[in-house]
Amino acid sequence: MSTVTEPVGAPVLEEVPARPVAARKRRRRRPRIVSNVVAIVLSVIWVFPVYWMVNTAFKPRYEVMTPTPMFFPQHPTFSNFVAAATESTFLVNLRNSLIVVVGTLIFAIVLGALASAALSRFRFRGRKLILVVVLAVQMLPGTALLIPQFVVFNQMGLTNNYFGLILAYVAATLPFTIWVMRGFFVAIPVEIEEAARVDGATNWQILWRVLFPLVTPGIIASSIFAFIAAWNDYLVAYTFMNDQSMYTLPVWLATFTTPTTGTDFGGLMAASVLFSLPVVIFFVIIQRNLVSGMSAGAVKG
């Protein structure tokens, strides 16, 4: 299903004489060291911001603000996490995030599964146009849907409201949900469907008993994308939700201050850890199964 990792068909070459290859392989051993050094340097650079977040989060305040940065916490403490979770509206905002994300998932997955089944297992006029629209919608600038949705939702009293935010997220996630799941549907051999039909199954039975169970990996993959998109969104939530009690976690993090300490980077980094690390670790665990779907769906994590 992946679009980007298309296997390249190549004619089989005749077997090459073995000796010169071995000689050259020996010559190529040396660059390994250079490659490894470069790889280590790059790994350190790329991991450093994440490390610095975790490092700062565990430092007491007097170790955070030092003229010479301390690369390891001398007196590791959980006080920043406690402060971030209890002295702010973390729990309320966490609840808001969960409500909105779960609501979005339910809508996007149910609607996406039905639509992608139609767009992959059937041929009808207008199908290609729909698919082009689905792809194109994902490329719109952020404000293209935000401005009209905000104006209309504002008139309808749907701003500062869970349902309004859920609707905005469904609009944003449905296109790639359809696209990703469609890839999984297309991969199912036609013969399976034919066999069920010969046995007398109706359209609905084929869908429920044959196709949906087979695309479960696709449903999981697109749920994860939709989850990440809704969980991470800042722009829409920041625009729609006016009251702090209605903020989702990204807005909470972007406006983070604790009443006792003001701009407190230990607290801010602890808050960043609370918000991002569960998702990041989950993503690292499952990413192997996602890379192909990710590139096919043109989704940025």
Partner 1 sequence: MSSPSATLVAGEAAVAADSPRQPRSPRRNSARFFPLWLLTPAGIVMIALVIVPIAFLLFTSFTDYDQRSLFTGEFSIVGFQQYVTIFTDPDFWWAIIRTILFTAAMVLGTIAIGMGISQLLTRLGTTMKYILTIVLVFAWAMPTVASSQIWNWLFQPGYGVVNWMLTQLHIFGDMTNAAWANNAFLAYTCIWLLIVWGGVPFIALTMYAAQSQVDPAYIEAARLDGASEARIYWTIVLRFLKPTLLLVTILSVIWDFNVFNQIWLVSQGGPNNATSTIGIWAYKTAFVSTHVGTGAAITVVATIMLLALTGLYIRNLLKSGEEL
The residue from 92, 186, 214, 220 that contacts partner 1 (CB under 8 A) is: 186
When the beta carbons of 92 and 137 are compared against partner 1, the nearer one is 137
Pick the closest to residue 165 from 146, 191, 189, 139 (CA basis).
Answer: 146
Is 85 a binding residue for partner 1 by CB under 8 A? The answer is no
Given the structure tokens 């809704």, which residue do they identify?
230
CA distances from 70 to 53, 55, 56, 82, 118 (A): 13, 9, 9, 22, 58
Exactly one of 21, 30, 259, 262 binds partner 1 (CB under 8 A); which one?
21
Report how far residue 102's alpha carbon sits from residue 142's, in angstroms, rounded to the nearest whole number. 22
CA separation for the pair 48, 139 (Å, rounded)? 31
Under rule CB under 8 A, residue 119 binds partner 1: yes
Decide if residue 152 touches partner 1 (CB under 8 A).
Answer: yes
Task: Choose, by CB under 8 A, the member of 165, 180, 268, 270 that binds partner 1.
Answer: 268
CB of 5 to partner 1, least distance (A): 4
CA–CA separation, 228 vs 282, rounded Å?
Answer: 11
Footprint of partner 1 on residues 36-75 (CB under 8 A)? Answer: 36, 38-40, 42-43, 46-47, 49-50, 52-53, 56, 64-69
Supply the Cα-derived Rg of the chain in whole angstroms.
25
Give the nearer residue to partner 1 in terms of CB position, either 35 or 86.
35
Only one of the segments 76-84, 87-95, 98-106, 172-180 lies at the binding site for partner 1 (rule: CB under 8 A); that segment is 172-180
Rule CB under 8 A: choose which of 114, 160, 162, 212 binds partner 1. Answer: 114
129, with CB counted inside 10 A (0-12, 13-18, 19+), is exposed
60-63: long-range contacts, CB 8 A cutoff, minimum separation 24: 60/266, 61/261, 61/264, 61/266
Q: Report which secondary-structure segment, H or E, holds 240.
A: helix 235-240
Q: Please tell me whether residue 187 binds partner 1 under the rule CB under 8 A.
A: no
Which x/- pattern over 188-227 shows residues binding partner 1 (rule: CB under 8 A)? --x--xx--xx----x---x--------------------
Considering the complex, what minimum distance in angstroms separates the CB of residue 141 from partner 1? 5
Query: How wide is the angle at C-alpha 129 spanned by C-alphas 197 and 227, nearest 5°?
Result: 80
Query: Could you give the CA distance from residue 173 to residue 137 in angstroms, rounded to a whole number?
Result: 10
**Residue 116: which residues within 8 A CB-CB, separation 6 or more?**
177, 178, 179, 181, 182, 185
Q: How many residues bind partner 1 (CB under 8 A)?
A: 121
Instruction: Quote the least distance from Cβ 288 to partner 1, whole Å.
Output: 9
Q: Considering beta carbons, is residue 174 or 221 the nearer one to partner 1?
A: 174
For partner 1, the binding residue among 7, 157, 213, 262 (CB under 8 A) is 7
- 92 near partner 1 (CB under 8 A): no
Quick check: 110 binds partner 1 (CB under 8 A)? yes
Query: Is residue 16 close enough to count as binding partner 1 by CB under 8 A?
Result: yes
Residue number, 9 or 259, with CB nearest to partner 1 = 9
